[in-house]
A and B are shown apart, each in its own frame.
Chain A
Amino acid sequence: MKIRVYRFNPERDTKPRMQSFEVATRPGMMLREALLDIRALDESFGFRHSCGEGVCGSDGMNVNGVNCLACITPLADLTEPVEVRPLPGRPVIRDLIVDMSQFYLQYKAVQPYLIRKEPLPEQEIPQTPAERDRLDGLYECILCGCCSTACPSFWWNPDKFHGPAALLQAWRFLADSRDQATDERLDALDGPYKLFRCHSIMNCVAVCPKELNPTKAIGHIKELMLEKAV
C-alpha cells in the first residue's frame, strides 16, 4: 500500500514536504503499524504513539483529510494513496508531531476537576445510577485533540475559544451531581469567545474516535445558562 507522510524537520528543512513509502500490509493491520514499518525504514520519521489501543490519545493525526487515531484506524478502510498529515491548525514541531500546548491550556482553563464545598462524608458521596449515567459520553475523553483541531472556530481563536474538548469537560463537571460550583463555572464561560464561538458545525462530533459528542455538551451548557438567566 502506498502511504504518503508529511515530513518536516526544522533543523534541516525550510519547508514541509510529502514523502511516499510502500508498505506491505497484513490482515487486520492498523495505520500505526504501517507508520512503525515506515520508521523501521527511516528512523528519523517522527510521530507520537503509545498504547496501541485507542486509550492514551497520543496518535491523533489527519489521514486522508480526516482526524483520527492511527492505532485504531484499519488500513483496509483507507483509500490509496493514504495521505498522513499532522493535526491541522497547530504548530508543527517535527513531522506528525504538533505543539498541543494551547489545547492543554484551554483544558486547564475550564477548571476540569470536581469542586465540593460541603464537608466530605466519611464514605462515598452518594450518586444514583441515573445521575452517574449522565457522565457517560463525557468522562471517556482521552484528550487526543482530534475534535478541537478539526474545529474552524478553534483554528481562528485557539487562545480565546475553549474548543470542543475543553467544553466537553466543562460540561462533564457541570453534569456531575457531586459538583458544587455550577454558578462559578457558568460565569467563567460567559462572554463572546470561550463558549459562544461554537457555531454548531459539528466537525468535532464527526471525528471523535471515542464517539463522544462535544456539540451536544455545548448545547447543554448553553441551555443551562439560559435557565439560570431567567
Chain B
Amino acid sequence: MGLQHRHFDALIIGAGGAGLNAALRLASANHRVAVVSKVFPTRSHTVAAQGGVNAALANVLPDNWHWHMFDTVKGSDYLGDQDAIETMCREAIPTVYELEHAGVPFSRLDNGKIYQRAFGGMSQNFGGEQAARTCAAADRTGHAILHTLYQQNIRARTHFFDEVFAVDLLRDDAGVVLGALVLDIATGEPLVIESKTTLLATGGYGQVFRTTTNAFINTGDGMAMALRAGVPVQDMEFYQFHPTGVAGKGMLITEGARGEGGYLINAQGERFMERYAPNALDLASRDVVARAIVTEIREGRGCGPHQDHVLLKLDHLGADVVHHRLPGIVDICRVFQGIDPAKQPIQVFPTAHYAMGGIPTDRAARVVAPVHKGPEEAVPGLYAAGECACVSVHGANRLGGNSLLDILVFGRAAGQDIERYLSENPHHRPLPQHTLDPILARLERWDRHGEGEPVHVVKADLRKLMEDHCGVFRDHDTMAKGVEKLRTLRERIEHARLQDHSQIFNTARIEALELDNLVDVGMATLACALAREESRGAHSRIDFPERDDVHWMQHSLFWREGDRVEAKPVRTKPLTVESFPPKARVY
C-alpha cells in the first residue's frame, strides 16, 4: 500500500488554546512541529470562550494564588489533584502576563492594568468575600486568546496541517506512541505522521449530549483515540452542565453576566439562589446553580408556558455595562432570542458544557496509566493537554475561568516536557507495519457499500440517550438502562453505512469516524457515572445524595476493553503548601 509517511519531532493534534500554546513553545525552540487540526485553527472551539481566564493578579481586589488554589480545590469537591492545582494557580500569573505580551487585547482598568471580573466560586482569603480574578477581553476572551496564539504561531513559522483529521494513534508493541494516522479531508488521502512525541489537544465532547454549548466538532476524538490505543480515561462521570445556556438552543450565556451583577429569577419573580447559596448567591459554583435551576423547574416554578426555564436578569445593570462588558451576549440574545438583554431577561436552562474528565496526565502533561508498576506510569511519547486531558485540576467540578487557564498552563508544560523527552530520545523508532492494520481496517469498515442506517440517525439517538440517561440528576435504574441502550446502539453502528464514498472533502465520512468516537466517550461517561455511588461536584445521584469521602474520594479510570471501571488515588499533597482536607462544601 502506497501510504505516504512524514516525520516530525512533535505531532500536536488540535489547534485550540492547548495545542497552540504547546506548538508556540516548541516552534520557537526550532523543533520540527506539526500541528494537525480538523478545522482551520481559529475555528477551534476555544474561540467561543467568553468570560475570561483566572489569575490572582490582584488588579481589582486583593488576591493571591493560594486563595485561588483553595477555591479550585473546594470547587473540585476535593477530587482535584492538589499538586496540579498548585502548579496551575501559581503559573496563572506569569501565563496571563505572557498572553498580554503576545498581544491579547484584554479589557483595561483606568490605571492601565488588565480588567478582572467576578466569577463563580471565587473568594478572597480562603472562603471569604467574593474575589475578582477573571481576566477578560470583554466577553470574547477565548476569541482574543485563540487568535493571538495563532498569530504568534504564524510568526514562529509553525507547520500547520489544516483540515486534516487524526484517525488513530500509532503504538508499537512496547507501548511507545509513534505518531498518528491522519486523513487529509480535502483529498481523502490517509497519511502517516511518524513523530517522536505526540500531544493530544483535541478538546471536549459536548456533542454527545443533545443540548450543548459545544460546537459540532467537539466529538471527543482524542479521548477515543487514547481508549482505542489501550489508554484509559479518567473521571468521565464528571460532566459539567452550565447553568445558563439559552433555553432550548444551548448557546452559552457566560457566567460573566452574573459576575457583572446579573441574577436568576423563577416564575414567581423570586431570586431563588438565596435559598440554595445564601452567601455566594448567583455566583455559587456551577454544579450548585445548575441543580438549583433544575430543582426550581421540577417543583413547578419554571417560567414560560411550559415552565421549562428560568430567567437571567441583566436589565438593572444599565445599557452601558451590558453593551460594553457583554457585547457578545447582546449579539447572542438578539440573534437567538430576539431580545435586548439590557431591557428584557434572558430565558436560560442548564446545558452540557465541559468535560472535567479525560486522558489522565501528570503535571508535565505526560499521559499516565497503570501499566506495570503503580497507577501513574508514563505512556512513552504520549502527551495530553486541554479539555481532552485530566490532570486533574477540576476534579468533580470546574470553576469558570479555570479551563482557559488549564489549557494554557498545561499546553505550555507539554511543550516543555516534550523538549526534555526529545533531548533524551533523539531518534525515531521504527514503525512496525502491523500497527497500522487495525486503523486501516476501521477506515475500510466505513467504506462498505450497501443498505444500512445513516450516521446522523444513530448520532441523534445517541445524543438523546445521553441526555435522558446521564443528565444533571442521576440514579441507578436510569443509568443502567442507559448502558444497556448504548450497548445496543454500539451494535447498530456495525450495520450503519455511508452512502457517499467519494474522496474529496467527504464530510459524511468524517462524521462517521466522529460517531465512533462519540460512542466510546459516551460509554465511558455512563459507565463511570453508574459505578460512582455518591454525589460529588457535577455528579448528583438521587439514590446517593451525599458525598462519601470514605469510599469514593478516588478517581475513576475507564478502559474500553470490557467497559471496565477501576479506581485510582487522588493526589492530596500539594507541592509546597499544606493540603486542603475535605470539608462540607457550602457557598
Residues in A lying within 8 Å of B, measured CB to CB: 9-12, 28, 39-40, 43-44, 46-58, 72, 74, 93-94, 97, 100, 104, 108, 111-114, 116, 120, 122-129, 131-132, 135-136, 139-140, 142-143, 173, 176, 178
Residues of B within 8 A of A56 (CB): 39, 42-45, 47-48, 215
Partner of B215, one of A9, A46, A51: A51
Lowest 3 CB-CB distances: which A-B pairs, in order? A114-B103, A126-B112, A44-B500
Q: Mark B19-41, 1 if CB is under 8 A from A, else 0.
A: 00000000000000000000110
CA gap between A74 and B335 in the complex, in Å = 8
Centre residue among A9, A94, A125, A132 by max chain B CB count within 10 A:
A132
Q: What are 25 residue pairs bridging A and B, where the CB atoms are less than 8 Å apart in the complex?
A: A10-B504, A11-B503, A43-B456, A43-B508, A51-B45, A51-B215, A52-B215, A54-B335, A55-B47, A56-B43, A58-B40, A97-B505, A100-B40, A112-B151, A113-B102, A113-B103, A113-B154, A114-B101, A114-B148, A123-B97, A124-B106, A128-B110, A129-B109, A132-B105, A178-B103
Please state if B151 and A113 are interface contacts (CB–CB under 8 Å).
Answer: yes
Given contacts A43-B499, A122-B97, contact A113 B215 (CB under 8 A): no
A12 / chain B contacts, CB cutoff of 8 Å: 502
Residue from the list B105, B109, B137, B154 in contact with A176, Cβ < 8 A: B105
Q: Is the CB of B113 within 8 A of A126?
A: yes
Residues of B within 8 A of A100 (CB): 40
Q: Complex formed: what's the CA distance from A70 to B338 in Å?
A: 17
Q: How far is the CA of A44 from the CA of B505 in the complex (A)?
A: 10
Q: Let me know if A50 and B508 touch, CB within 8 A.
A: no
Contact of B39 among A46, A58, A139 (CB under 8 A): A58
Closest to B102 in A: A114
With A9-B504, A125-B100 known to touch, is A112 a contact of B154 (CB < 8 Å)? yes
Q: Which residues of A contact B579 (CB under 8 A)?
A: none
Pick out which of these stretches binds chain A: B139-147, B193-201, B303-311. B139-147
Verify if B331 is at the interface (C-beta below 8 Å from A). Answer: yes
Cβ contacts B492-516/A at 8 Å (1 or 0 each) = 0000001110111111100000000
Inside 8 A of B97's CB, which chain A residues have their CB? 122-124
Beyond the given A113-B102, A135-B105, could you list 9 further A-B residue pairs with CB under 8 A, ordered by the A residue number?
A9-B504, A11-B504, A28-B338, A43-B499, A48-B39, A113-B103, A120-B101, A124-B114, A125-B101
Rounded to whole angstroms, the CA-CA distance of A47 and B185 in the bound complex is 12
For the complex, what is the distance from the CA of A116 to the CA of B102, rounded to whole Å? Answer: 9
How distant is the Cα of A139 from the Cα of B103 in the complex, in angstroms?
10
Shortest distance from the beta carbon of B152 to any chain A beta carbon, whole Å: 6
Q: Is A132 in contact with B108, judged by CB distance below 8 angstroms? A: yes
CA distance A111 to B156 in the complex (A): 11
Q: Which residues of A contact B48 (CB under 8 A)?
A: 51, 53, 55-56
B434 CB, min distance to chain A CBs, angstroms: 32
- B216 within 8 A of partner (CB): yes
Is B186 in contact with chain A by the CB < 8 A criterion? Answer: yes
Q: What CA separation (Å) do A140 and B139 show in the bound complex?
A: 11
B454 to chain A, nearest CB (A): 6
Give B137 Cβ to nearest chain A Cβ, in Å: 8
User: Chain A: which residue is nearest B45 at the CB level?
Assistant: A51
Q: Which residues of B contact A40 (CB under 8 A)?
A: 454, 456
Residues of A within 8 A of B152 (CB): 113
Contact indicator A9/B155 (Cβ below 8 Å):
no
How far is A100 from B138 in the complex, measured between Cα atoms in Å?
A: 29
For the complex, give the distance between the alpha carbons of A47 and B505 in Å.
9
**Residue pair B502, A104 in contact (C-beta under 8 Å):** no
Chain A hits for B101, CB < 8 A = 114, 116, 120, 124-125
Q: Are B105 and A139 in contact (CB under 8 A)?
A: yes
Chain B residues with CB under 8 A of A122: 97
A94 to B503, CA, bound (A): 11
Query: Given the complex of chains A and B, what is the CA–CA distance between A125 and B99 in angstroms?
Result: 11
B421 interfacial by beta-carbon distance below 8 Å: no
Q: Is B332 an interface residue (CB 8 A)?
A: yes
A4–B441 alpha-carbon span in the complex (Å): 38
Of residues 454 through 480 on chain B, the ones whose CB sits less than 8 Å from some CB of chain A are: 454-456
What is the CB-to-nearest-CB distance from B574 to chain A, in angstroms, rounded to a whole number? Answer: 25
A155 to B: closest C-beta gap in Å? 21
B502 touches A50 (CB 8 A): no
B290 touches A (CB below 8 Å): no
**How far, in whole Å, are A46 and B507 apart by their CA atoms in the complex?**
6
Task: Tell me the minimal C-beta distance from B312 to chain A in angstroms.
Answer: 17
- Residues of B contacting A39 in the complex (Cβ-Cβ under 8 angstroms): 456
Chain B residues near A52: list those with CB within 8 A.
215-216, 251
For A114, the closest partner residue in chain B by CB is: B103
Assuming the contacts A28-B336, A43-B454, A122-B97, asked whether A132 and B215 have C-beta atoms less than 8 A apart, the reply is: no
Query: For window 181-236 of chain B, which residues contact chain A by CB distance below 8 Å?
Result: 186, 215-217
| Smallest beta-carbon distance A227→chain B, Å | 24
With a cutoff of 8 Å between Cβ atoms, the chain A residues found around residue B105 in the complex are 132, 135, 139, 176
Q: What chain B residues lie within 8 Å of A104 (beta carbons)?
A: 40
Q: Does the CB pair A43–B498 fall under 8 Å?
A: yes
- Closest chain B residue, CB of each to CB of A139: B105
Residues in chain A near residue B332, CB distance under 8 A: 53
Specify which chain B residues have a CB less than 8 angstroms from the CB of A11 in the assembled complex: 502-504
User: Distance in Å from the Cβ of A91 to the closest Cβ of chain B?
Assistant: 11
How many Å lie between the Cα of A178 and that of B100 in the bound state? 10
Q: How far is the CA of A114 from the CA of B216 in the complex (A)?
A: 31
B112 close to A128 (CB less than 8 A): yes
Q: Does B416 contact A (CB under 8 A)?
A: no
Which residue of chain B has the shortest Cβ distance to A210 in the bound complex?
A: B331
Across-interface contacts of B109 in A (CB, < 8 A):
129
Question: Nearest chain-B residue to A44 (Cβ)?
Answer: B500
- Residues from chain A with a CB closer than 8 A to the CB of B506 are 44, 46
- A112 and B251 alpha carbons, distance in the complex (Å): 29
Contact of A93 with B186 in the complex, beta carbons under 8 Å: yes
Inter-chain contact A54/B155, CB cutoff 8 Å: no
Chain A neighbourhood of B106, CB < 8 A: 124, 132
User: A142–B143 contact, CB under 8 A?
Assistant: yes
Nearest B-chain residue to A99, judged by Cβ: B186
User: Closest CB of chain B to A173's CB: distance in Å?
Assistant: 8
- B107 beta carbon closer than 8 Å to chain A: yes
Pairwise interchain contact B504-A140, C-beta atoms closer than 8 A: no
Q: How far is the CA of A11 from the CA of B138 in the complex (A)?
A: 46
Complex: A39 Cα to B500 Cα, angstroms: 11
User: Which chain B residue lies CB-closest to A74?
Assistant: B335
Min CB distance B255 to A, Å, is 17
Task: Tell me which of B44, B336, B499 has the highest count of chain A C-beta atoms within 10 A of its own C-beta.
Answer: B336
